Amino acid sequence: MKLVAPSILAANFNKLGDDIEMINSSEADFVHCDVMDGVFVPNISFGIPVIQAVNSISTKPLDVHLMIVNPEKYIEDFYQAGASIITVHYEACPHLHRVIQQIKNLGIKASVCLNPHTPVFLLEEILSELDMVLLMSVNPGFGGQRFIENTFRKASALKEMILQKNLSTLIEVDGGVNFEVGKKLYDSGVDILVAGSFVFNSANPTETIAKLKQL
Ligand code: DX5
Ligand code: ZN
């Protein structure tokens, strides 16, 4: 699959509504919402009220990436705010299986994110429970960073695991995505590209989204 999730971390927060309208009118498949708590990652972004506001005008499903400790405390709140997919970090969840069940019991999609240093084989015993795996291709916390090349290898290894187990788990990659990287990611078995600064800093974001889907 070739799907695109623009990350609103790179949007203009003074005109967030306009940027959501742009996404609505584009070929984007999701709105990627980056929630950062200043503890799990060294940055603070936005939280539940902003996601609620985005959801009230978005025609695209919200792909909520929780870069927070103790995500289990807030799963219900993010669901109520309108999340269609909730991603928690492997590194933030000692009881990952329980958190995944918590998300799935709400009837929405459950996903696990791996930091760049976390190997995909650690998902061996949980993969069949997941709708999606998010591979970080930068260290989480900031937009506009350089893509880490090792991600191609991780994506291929993960795709192999998924096929071997006969699963239909989607693979999403987040950080430093552009046309060149995006093409190679699709070729490595990635289904969803997250793109923040590449979309919002481009002259024509709608066109950039369309082109990301046609790589
Ligand atoms: C980083 C976030 C990303 C970020 C990607 O911690 O998870 O979603 O917005 O931004 P770009 O595409 O600019 O690297
Ligand atoms: Zn993200």
- Mutation test residue for ligand 1: of 197, 199, 208, the one with most atoms within 8 Å of CB: 197
- 196 CA distance to ligand 2 middle (Å): 9
CA distances from 42 to 50, 55, 68, 76 (A): 20, 26, 10, 24
Residues 6 or more apart whose Cβ sits within 8 Å of residue 204: none
Helix (H) or strand (E) holding 73, with range, is none
The tokens for 58 are 């978005």
The tokens for 148 are 């880490």
- 138 CA distance to ligand 2 middle (Å): 10
Residue appearing with tokens 């369309």: 210
Is 29 known to be catalytic?
A: no
Decide: 6 in ligand 1 pocket, CB within 6 A.
no
Decide: 177 in ligand 1 pocket, CB within 6 A.
yes
C-alpha R_g of the chain: 16
Q: What is the DSSP letter of 145?
A: P
> What does CATH list as the number for 3-213?
3.20.20.70
Helices 16-25 and 48-57: crossing angle in degrees, nearest 10, is: 50
CA distances from 5 to 50, 75, 118, 134, 146 (A): 17, 21, 23, 12, 18
Q: Report the percent of the chain where pLDDT is more than 90.
A: 100
Helices 179-187 and 151-164: crossing angle in degrees, nearest 10, is: 30
- Structure confidence at residue 182 (pLDDT): 98
Question: Residue 134 and residue 146: Cα distance in Å, rounded?
Answer: 17
Is the whole model's pTM more than 0.85, yes or no?
yes
Break the chain into its structural domains and give their ranges. 3-213
Catalytic residue among 19, 29, 63, 174: 174
Q: What is the DSSP letter of 107?
A: T
- 26 CA distance to ligand 1 middle (Å): 19
- 166 CA distance to ligand 1 middle (Å): 30
The tokens for 184 are 């190679």
Q: What's the pLDDT band for 173 if we cut at 50, 70, 90?
A: very high
- Structure confidence at residue 152 (pLDDT): 98
Interval 68-89 mean pLDDT: 98
Q: What is the DSSP string of 47-62?
A: -HHHHHHHHHH-SSPE
pLDDT digits (tens, 9 = 90+) for 131-158: 999 999 999 999 999 999 999 999 999 9
Is 34 known to be catalytic?
A: yes
CA distances from 204 to 32, 101, 108, 182, 199 (A): 19, 40, 32, 18, 8
- Structure confidence at residue 77 (pLDDT): 98
What average pLDDT does the structure give for the chain?
98
- Structure confidence at residue 92 (pLDDT): 98
Q: What is the DSSP letter of 133?
A: E
